[in-house]
Amino acid sequence: MSDSTSLAVAAALLVVLAGLAGAMTVATQATTSVAIETNPTDPNDAEATHTVVFTPVESALFGSTFDDIRVNYSIDQPTADVSNVGAGTIERIGIDRDGDDVGTRIDDPANVTEVTATSDGTDVLIRTNNRLTITTGDEIVVVLRPVQNPQNNGTASVEATVNTESAAESATDTVTYEYNSASVNFTDQSSPGDTVTVEDVSLSEDGYVVILDQSGRNPGEVRGATYVTAGQNQTTSVEIEPPVETQTELWAQVHLDTNGDRRFNYSSSGGTVDGPFETRDDNVMASDGATVWNEARTRTPSGGGGGSSDGDPNISNYRATADDGEITVTFDTDENLADIEVDVRGAEDATMTTEDFDGNEYEGYEGTYDAGTNGEYTLELVSAEDSAGNDGADDGDYSDTATVEDATTPTSSPSPTPTVTDSPTDTATDEETATPTDTTAETDDTEETTDGVADDDGDEETASPTEDGGAGLGGVVALAALLGSALLVYRRR
């Protein structure tokens, strides 16, 4: 082979290789696409929501305004009906700049100026006010409702076209219509208060696990929701508000993400958006109730008193504390109690009974005793029986001490200080009133002065000493009596 021939063959090979490379580049280059979803997917659902996310790539649309979008269901069977879609029912339309928002969320909303559907309801054209400019990386979003899903199961192609009158660009996607399914298993559990765990969640399409105070269609009873992708046997945690403080009955339900924005709008929409999965007869499909309590009150058997296998209640965390003369007894148990008895010994002896306690198996029990005497008290649980007569107090030594240092004792009224109206000294110097009777003359002088003095009525008045000055007054009275007796003796002489 001559050199010229070799060069010609090599050049031809280069041309072929370049052509193959160009073909491979074209084949792998991203193209404009559209994602169309229906929620719910149930056939014959008259109020379904269809979401359309149109993503132009290397498109003539770039730099032009967003004028309109047409969604055409007529190109394939089974066919949905969009006759009832209008300007007031379109939930969302606009542009997600850079395509970085989740689901159908948008950055710039468009204003709808006209909605036109074909007579058979298989095609709808939505016009806008030409305000938004389409740029590289944008996604054009429209959420249509209400859409009547076809009566039969099946998968059909749907076409979307942006700017039908200038620089038009189209893309197709497939939509599957089938009866959806969901299930949930919500079991009794302790909780930190602000979250609960829902086990075994299954759903045929993306949606939410929702926690409510009551089952059913109750948008005002929602405590929390978590987005969950389609799948089987999933376990998820749901944050709730308000948190669980005491034993509470809650319900878990599986809901749809009807508008595709991954924001739970059921409560804020009054129940018109993101409703529950439904059966064919329009009942709530997946709902389960459970008893939830705050784990701070979780019952843990204490040493020596818990873990019994004889049916007795398990007692734990038995404590006695004192505050300003009030002794508080607290303890936990894994059963509701029908009879409680606590012996109180020490500075006072008493018995606390069931009537002195409040509580239950989830919150624990608490009782109070008002101490009237300062000192140390021992409080022993002697009975903690359930309704069957099983006594948890038999399974251990439940006793604790508390010291009262500020007991409230009854205050006695002070005895009044007697008031002497006639001075003994003045009586002794008065000749008419100081003359003793025969009985006085026969009475020993010492006895007369220690037992008392006669009052104006002739009754004997006893001088009662007081805490502060009784003894001093008694001395004065005695001295006055002695002086009076000496004066009488002197006058008789």
Of the pLDDT bands very low, low, confident and very high (cuts 50, 70, 90), residue 413 is very low
For residue 482, the model assigns a pLDDT of 56
Between 161 and 360, whose confidence is greater?
161
pTM of the model: 0.56
Residue 303 lies in a domain: no
| Amino acid at position 350, single letter | A
The answer on 479 and 376 residing in a single domain is: no
The per-residue b/e assignment along 81-95, b for 16 or more CB within 10 angstroms, e otherwise, is bbebbeeeebbbbbb
| Amino acid at position 107, single letter | D
Residue 25 lies in a domain: no
Report the pLDDT averaged over residues 175-200.
Answer: 93
For residue 281, the model assigns a pLDDT of 86
Of the pLDDT bands very low, low, confident and very high (cuts 50, 70, 90), residue 101 is confident
Between 111 and 445, whose confidence is greater?
111
Of the pLDDT bands very low, low, confident and very high (cuts 50, 70, 90), residue 233 is confident
Tell me how far apart the alpha carbons of residues 276 and 42 are, in angstroms, rounded to a whole number.
13
Strand order in 48-55's β-sheet?
Answer: 33-39, 48-55, 139-147, 92-96, 108-109
* pLDDT exceeds cutoff 50 at 429: no
Tell me how far apart the alpha carbons of residues 51 and 49 are, in angstroms, rounded to a whole number.
7
Cβ atoms within 10 A of the Cβ of 302, count?
17
For residue 484, the model assigns a pLDDT of 55
Residue 143 lies in a domain: yes
CATH code at 90? 2.60.40
For residue 279, the model assigns a pLDDT of 92
Of the pLDDT bands very low, low, confident and very high (cuts 50, 70, 90), residue 363 is confident
The answer on 188 and 170 residing in a single domain is: no
Mean pLDDT of the chain: 81
Report the pLDDT averaged over residues 383-400.
Answer: 92
- DSSP summary character for residue 393: G
Where among 177, 195, 211 does a domain terminate? 177
The answer on 171 and 226 residing in a single domain is: no
The answer on 151 and 76 residing in a single domain is: yes
Where among 152, 177, 202 does a domain terminate? 177
For residue 296, the model assigns a pLDDT of 73
C-alpha separations of 404 from 309, 339, 410, 417 in Å: 38, 27, 16, 34
For residue 305, the model assigns a pLDDT of 37
Of the pLDDT bands very low, low, confident and very high (cuts 50, 70, 90), residue 368 is very high
* pLDDT exceeds cutoff 70 at 391: yes
Of the pLDDT bands very low, low, confident and very high (cuts 50, 70, 90), residue 2 is low
Contact (CB, 8 A) for 455 and 461: yes
Report the pLDDT averaged over residues 97-122.
Answer: 92
Of the pLDDT bands very low, low, confident and very high (cuts 50, 70, 90), residue 408 is low
For residue 27, the model assigns a pLDDT of 43
Give the number of C-alpha atoms closer than 13 A to the C-alpha of residue 241, restricted to the C-beta side.
2
Containing 227, the helix (H) or strand (E) segment is strand 222-228
Report the pLDDT averaged over residues 240-251.
Answer: 91
Strands (E), 266-348: 287-294, 315-323, 326-333, 339-346
The answer on 62 and 98 residing in a single domain is: yes
Report the pLDDT averaged over residues 410-433.
Answer: 45
Between 414 and 215, whose confidence is greater?
215
For residue 6, the model assigns a pLDDT of 55
| Least confident piece of the model among 107-121, 128-142, 468-482 | 468-482
Centroid of chain to Cα 338: 29
The answer on 169 and 86 residing in a single domain is: yes
Of the pLDDT bands very low, low, confident and very high (cuts 50, 70, 90), residue 29 is low
* pLDDT exceeds cutoff 70 at 419: no
CATH code at 368? 2.60.40.10
Residue 14 lies in a domain: no
Number of domain units in the chain: 4
Residue 12 lies in a domain: no
The answer on 156 and 225 residing in a single domain is: no
Of the pLDDT bands very low, low, confident and very high (cuts 50, 70, 90), residue 10 is low
Residue 386 lies in a domain: yes
Query: In which domain, by residue range, is 453 found?
Result: 424-492
Question: Could you write out the DSSP letters of every residue in 138-198?
Answer: -EEEEEEEEEB--SS-EEEEEEEEE-TTSS-EEEEEEEEE----EEEE---EEE-SSEEEE
* pLDDT exceeds cutoff 90 at 25: no
* pLDDT exceeds cutoff 80 at 334: yes
The answer on 463 and 394 residing in a single domain is: no
The answer on 190 and 119 residing in a single domain is: no
Residue 35 DSSP SS3: strand
The answer on 238 and 137 residing in a single domain is: no
The per-residue b/e assignment along 365-389, b for 16 or more CB within 10 angstroms, e otherwise, is bebebebeeeeebebbbebbbbeee
Of the pLDDT bands very low, low, confident and very high (cuts 50, 70, 90), residue 280 is confident
Residue 322 lies in a domain: yes
For residue 446, the model assigns a pLDDT of 37
**Percentage of the chain modeled with pLDDT above 90:** 62
* pLDDT exceeds cutoff 90 at 412: no
For residue 106, the model assigns a pLDDT of 94
The answer on 361 and 277 residing in a single domain is: no
Of the pLDDT bands very low, low, confident and very high (cuts 50, 70, 90), residue 470 is very low
The answer on 186 and 158 residing in a single domain is: no
Residue 27 lies in a domain: no
Question: Could you write out the DSSP letters of every residue in 357-370?
Answer: EEEETTTEEEEEEE
Of the pLDDT bands very low, low, confident and very high (cuts 50, 70, 90), residue 434 is very low
Where among 155, 177, 199 does a domain terminate? 177
* pLDDT exceeds cutoff 70 at 143: yes
Report the pLDDT averaged over residues 362-388.
Answer: 93
User: Across the strands, what pairs with 402?
Assistant: 377
For residue 383, the model assigns a pLDDT of 96
